[in-house]
Chains A and B, each alone.
Chain A
């Protein structure tokens, strides 16, 4: 690896995908295995250039599918390497089977996921059906509102995933096109500083250690399987603490503080919106506007969806009067995945009893404008005044012909 920068961080204009490729270059993984799919392709292309220019030590496996990408990542991780991949939508769906294997083998594979609608019908634009569908796969999921957050989350990823109390794969999610293809200015940290923050990768029962041969991936039947799954769950529970520890250290090192979620003008808020990823930016703008008019409105933005910080979120929503959750994916015949989690958090951990309302929006890249968000807030106000959500529950926003 050559040409490491030393010195000051730089403010750069860069796309979200480009920012993640830069993080990967600075992390300098031993192996990357990836397959192109819009809108994550730029990550793979930029990274290939770093390989071609000798800027990384990485062996880049140009696999013939995403199924093979994840398989190769697991193999390389078992061989003691630090391993990364990038994908979207159908690409991650094609990895599905192996997502679970990576988690159960406790391989800290890192993924940069650019959220895109799952096919059916085919679409290339943003929604969260890909990562939300994988929420039970056993991966840590960190979400990012901006290019800076996508980059920062990836810089923190290895230390969280590889922590001995965790040892789980981790995906950093960002919104397809809205973030991946939009140029924003952000702070690109110095190469050496990132390298020092990330630290070396320590192999764990490497399959290349012929002196101590290990069997990885044995058949695990009814006499042991559930104990291994319980161990996996413990890793996830520990991750809540480790994510916060690593985030605090990141804040000390680079000056940007992240938590398990972001509370935006929440303390005295009567109406609280809950959202994930880029739409939080628009919501904040509307909140600032309405606050000047005296409307007590705030936002809770999810960063860690897996593990889900139920207790902290429940407490943060204790003073809310109505919580309106915006899901960017649908669970057909059921409430959206974020709404379900928020309801659980509020029911079990909030001292107050806010009304809970859930909406679905943005599937396949459908925009949600500032006007739509204002409307959501004024509807929330109406529900609050009436003391019930009524038939506004489960509305789909900005959909032609929705009579619900």
Chain B
């Protein structure tokens, strides 16, 4: 195993904050055993003492599993209304906050976080996300990307990687999983010229925490795309979520980087460049690709191309 960044011995001030403050998200929720989604939700209130957080959620696993009436895991104000509108809904919350502050009816400093899966973000929620970001609301959007519509039973989304088997891209005599490359949502968000855009992974909580803090501290819209493996969707063992996310980063499928006011920083460079096959073949959703070397080659070529693009952008914006 490779240490990606930081060790427990050398805690950054941010990490100390992360460990010391109480979390926001209580146990007892109905997420699958081994689901890593709760890792980032627990950090929400830990990012700062300077403000409090109000959160909104798109429909999806996190929403469904955390709020089955009359129970709720949320220890902060939290709202959900539908699948495709979380950004618009939170635009309204944030706009009301600004209105009340302007009228002198509200004095507290509040920050607003929106959460959605890849389906609720890349696909059905893309329009409302784009609108909210373009309008400049003070919102941090965190997309937990598990690569499919997991809540409804693993249907493909536009974030599903090439070749992955899902229930709507099944393997058969004519089908070898998802056709074509996934949509690059992080780039779409970059095109909105936001002050802060980052890619993070659930396995590196120090990096993730630092990014969440930066994104939420930032006044104005910000976006984090978070790799978050799904146990049943990826067909991995229940203790493998964190490790699988790590492998996704190690093979450059999911580079960790951030873009602050247009300046790119790659946060982690694998010391040994690993082929995507290590990661791909550790998951059941890709196992049929053993018989499709052409798909594997295309997968590797796409990962290499995107990594080259990222290095170029980093150099260009140095």
| Chain B CB within 10 A, most for which of A57, A64, A98, A224 | A64
A79 with B128: in contact, given A68-B88, A210-B54 (CB under 8 Å)? Answer: no
- A101-B96 in contact (CB<8A): no
- B56-A219 in contact (CB<8A): no
Q: Which of B50-94 contact A (CB under 8 A)?
A: 52-54, 56, 63-64, 67-70, 72, 74-82, 84-85, 87-94
A57 with B81: in contact, given A64-B130, A72-B88 (CB under 8 Å)? Answer: no
In the complex, what distance in Å separates the CA atom of A116 from the CA atom of B179? 43
Q: How many residues of B contact A (CB 8 A)?
A: 48
Chain B residues near A67 (CB-CB < 8 A)? 84-85, 88, 128
Chain B residues near A81 (CB-CB < 8 A)? 96, 99-100
Taken residue by residue from 48 to 75, chain A's Cβ proximity to chain B (1 for < 8 Å, 0 otherwise) reads as: 0000000001110111110111011111
In the complex, what distance in Å separates the CA atom of A255 from the CA atom of B117? 54
- A59-B96 in contact (CB<8A): yes
In the complex, what distance in Å separates the CA atom of A101 from the CA atom of B128? 17
- A61-B91 in contact (CB<8A): yes
- A105-B81 in contact (CB<8A): yes
- B68-A208 in contact (CB<8A): no
- B99-A57 in contact (CB<8A): yes
In the complex, what distance in Å separates the CA atom of A218 from the CA atom of B65? 10
In the complex, what distance in Å separates the CA atom of A207 from the CA atom of B76? 9
Q: How far is the CB of A210 from chain B (nearest CB, A)?
A: 4
Is B11 an interface residue, CB under 8 A from the partner?
no
Chain A residues near B84 (CB-CB < 8 A)? 67
| Chain A CB within 10 A, most for which of B75, B77, B127, B131 | B77
Q: Which of A201-216 contact B (CB under 8 A)?
A: 207-210, 213-216
B71: nearest residue on chain A (CB-CB)?
Answer: A218
Is A333 an interface residue, CB under 8 A from the partner?
no
Taken residue by residue from 227 to 262, chain A's Cβ proximity to chain B (1 for < 8 Å, 0 otherwise) reads as: 000000000000000000000000000000000000
Chain A residues near B95 (CB-CB < 8 A)? 31, 33, 59, 61, 72, 75-76
In the complex, what distance in Å separates the CA atom of A67 from the CA atom of B99? 22
Total number of residue pairs linking A and B with CB closer than 8 Å: 168
A75 with B67: in contact, given A68-B131, A98-B81, A101-B82 (CB under 8 Å)? Answer: no
Chain A residues near B87 (CB-CB < 8 A)? 68
- B88-A224 in contact (CB<8A): no
Q: How many residues of A contact B (CB 8 A)?
A: 44
Chain A residues near B110 (CB-CB < 8 A)? 208, 210
Chain B residues near A71 (CB-CB < 8 A)? 81-82, 85, 88-89, 91-92, 128
Chain B residues near A98 (CB-CB < 8 A)? 81-82, 85
Q: Which of A62, A74, A213, A216 is within 8 Å of B75, CB to CB?
A: A213
Chain A residues near B92 (CB-CB < 8 A)? 31, 33, 61, 71-79, 83
- A218-B67 in contact (CB<8A): yes
In the complex, what distance in Å separates the CA atom of A30 from the CA atom of B103? 9
In the complex, what distance in Å separates the CA atom of A363 from the CA atom of B115? 43
Chain A residues near B135 (CB-CB < 8 A)? 61-63
- A208-B79 in contact (CB<8A): no
Is A80 an interface residue, CB under 8 A from the partner?
yes
Chain A residues near B82 (CB-CB < 8 A)? 71, 97-98, 101
Chain B residues near A75 (CB-CB < 8 A)? 56, 79, 81, 88-96
Q: Which of A101, A213, A218 is within 8 Å of B77, CB to CB?
A: A213
B134: nearest residue on chain A (CB-CB)?
Answer: A64
In the complex, what distance in Å separates the CA atom of A343 from the CA atom of B160? 54
Q: Which of B87-145 contact A (CB under 8 A)?
A: 87-100, 102-103, 106, 108, 110, 127-128, 130-132, 134-135
In the complex, what distance in Å separates the CA atom of A209 from the CA atom of B96? 13
- B130-A208 in contact (CB<8A): no
A218 with B72: in contact, given A31-B99, A33-B95, A78-B93 (CB under 8 Å)? Answer: yes
Q: How far is the CB of B127 from chain A (nearest CB, A)?
A: 6
Q: How far is the CB of B74 from chain A (nearest CB, A)?
A: 5
Interface pairs A-B: 4 shortest CB-CB: A75-B92, A72-B92, A64-B131, A68-B88
A to B CB contacts below 8 Å, 5 in the list: A65-B131, A71-B92, A78-B79, A217-B80, A224-B70
Given A64-B134, A69-B88, 20 additional A-B pairs, CB 8 A: A30-B99, A61-B135, A63-B131, A65-B88, A68-B85, A68-B132, A71-B89, A74-B81, A75-B89, A75-B93, A98-B85, A207-B78, A208-B93, A208-B110, A217-B79, A217-B80, A218-B72, A218-B80, A220-B69, A224-B70
Q: Using a CB–CB distance below 8 Å, which chain B residues touch chain A? A: 52-54, 56, 63-64, 67-70, 72, 74-82, 84-85, 87-100, 102-103, 106, 108, 110, 127-128, 130-132, 134-135
